Chain A
Amino acid sequence: MAKSLEALGEQYFFLKLNLEEMLSKCESDSEREELNIRFAASRRSFNKALNAVFIENSAAVKELREGLEANTKEIKEAFERRKKIAKILELITTGVDIGKSLVKLGE
């Protein structure tokens, strides 16, 4: 099982399915721009991860993967509870950064 790849896919797919609604909740162009940039980065990480190999039992990979899984859960909850987009954006930024670090470990 490629758990890290699946964790990256889960976050990217959630963002893709809900990007339009999130964009409609943005209150400024800078928020919209940031959201689009983060989404594109999530997609990039997924595409890179398809070519990566993750040592799933390494402590560093495990820590980042679990961090990413927890972060996706937080994003989903915040989105379902209709939290302010600024808060959701903050969570997405954290998740995308974790994703990038995770992919680096697999390259």
Chain B
Amino acid sequence: MNKTLVAKFRNTFKTQVSLILVLALVAAQSACDRTPAIELANLGMVTGQALTEYYESLVNDTNDTWDMELFWVALIKKQNSASGRGIDPNFDDEDIKLLKGRIDQLNSRVKMAKQMRTMYTELKDYASYDAGASVEIAAKNLSSALTGLIPVPGVNAAGIIGAIAGDLERFSQIKDLKEKIKISKKLMDSLNELFEKEESAYALIAQENNVTATAIAQSLIENEMVLPWGLLDKIPTTFGVKWVSKTITDPPKDDDLKKGFIAIIKRRNDHLNDAAKSAAENLGEAIKDLAAAHAKYLEKKPIDLSNVASLLGRAKFYLGEIQKLKQASE
């Protein structure tokens, strides 16, 4: 082996070792970036899912309110048509247009939340093993969901979210995880602004549903059309006593008893309203904290997502409570 060849081998070896070392360093750095990115993506997925369920619950509330209102109006008409004039506060075309518009607005938010979940799922895959193609599709779908977001006229959702739609369109062309997280942060910031502006309206939509159900329950008790004894079911269970069958097969006729049952219904209404407010507040806080965690990631600061997880857990708890209370009332 001549000297030139040995020198060439040494040089090549040195270059290769250096290259391996550089690659190892990049990989280590990349792995450091990837773990919190995967955590962000995980919480983004859970937030997208929670938001989907939340917006769907508001669509259901609006539809239920609409149905219940039609029944309630018929009940009122029955009470007040003795004179034969049949006066009632029924919906007219403009009311129906407003309700349909509200359902469309909420459904467009359901679609956006679903796409957000999908995008974070794909982002998680990308952070785990560069699954570029599927991220491209997810981001484009989210972009079209955002541009199709029907704005509440005054809130100007298009203005808030519109700017991010263009970024999502080029999401797939970006091959850098950090750049992708930058776009995700923009999305979370926009979503945070949208949710903050609309949060009161969300809580009031749920509240309207509770109030309508309460008004009907009141009317049914007043008019002896339901058996409200089930509202007191805990008492016989707790003390091991049984209802006298003739007590619970007839509706209460005594005015004071009726008032007592109506007071219980109103108390449950208050509880449902508090739960609806808490669900919206916790979800709003979770979105805000998740957006802040994206910023910390980009500043290379350690991120702690336990608070986001706990806020989302609380939001889900309150939504579950609402379901339980509604089922109990049924």
The answer to whether A binds B is yes
Residues of chain B within 8 A of A12, CB atoms compared: 208
Of the candidates B94, B152, B200, the one having the most CB atoms from chain A within 10 angstroms of its own CB is B200
Indicate whether A80 reaches chain B with its CB closer than 8 angstroms.
no
Known: A32-B87, A33-B85. A20 touches B101 (CB 8 A): no
B211 touches A13 (CB 8 A): yes
A2 touching B201 by the CB < 8 A rule? Answer: yes
Interface size class of B (residues with CB under 8 A): 35 or more
- Number of residue pairs spanning A and B whose beta carbons lie under 8 angstroms apart: 86
Given A17-B211, A36-B87, also A1-B200 (CB < 8 A): yes
Taking a contact as CB atoms closer than 8 A, the residue among A6, A16, A23 that contacts B211 in the complex is A16
Cα A107 to Cα B218 with chains together (Å): 34
> Are A9 and B95 interface neighbours, CB within 8 A?
no
Q: Say yes or no: is A43 at the interface (Cβ < 8 Å to chain B).
A: yes
Evaluate contact between A51 and B153: CB separation under 8 angstroms.
Answer: yes
Chain B residues positioned under 8 Å from A17 (CB to CB): 211, 214-215, 218, 266
Say how far B85's CB is from chain A's closest CB, in angstroms: 5
Tell me whether A9 and B101 are in contact (CB under 8 A). no
A39 to B87 Cα, complex, angstroms: 12
The reply to whether B211 and A32 contact each other, CB–CB distance below 8 Å, is no
The bracket for how many chain A residues form the interface is 20 to 34
Q: Which of A9, A20, A24 contacts B207 (CB 8 A)?
A: A9
* Distance from B106 Cβ to chain A, minimum over Cβ atoms (Å): 10
Task: Verify B98–A47 contact, CB threshold 8 A.
Answer: yes
Please give the distance in Å from A94's CB to the nearest CB on chain B: 19
- The complex places the Cα of A12 from the Cα of B87 at a distance, in Å, of 19
Q: Is the CB of B222 within 8 A of A20?
A: yes
Q: Indicate whether B16 reaches chain A with its CB closer than 8 angstroms.
A: no
B88 lies within 8 A of chain A by Cβ: yes
Tell me if A78 counts as interface (CB < 8 A to partner B). no
Which residues of chain A (80-107) have a CB below 8 Å from chain B? 106-107
How far apart are A28's CB and chain B's nearest CB, in angstroms?
9
Within 8 A of A (CB), among B51-108: 75-76, 79-80, 83, 85, 87-90, 92, 94-95, 98-99, 101-102
Interface residues of B (CB under 8 A from A): 75-76, 79-80, 83, 85, 87-90, 92, 94-95, 98-99, 101-102, 152-155, 200-201, 204-205, 207-208, 211-212, 214-215, 218-219, 222, 266
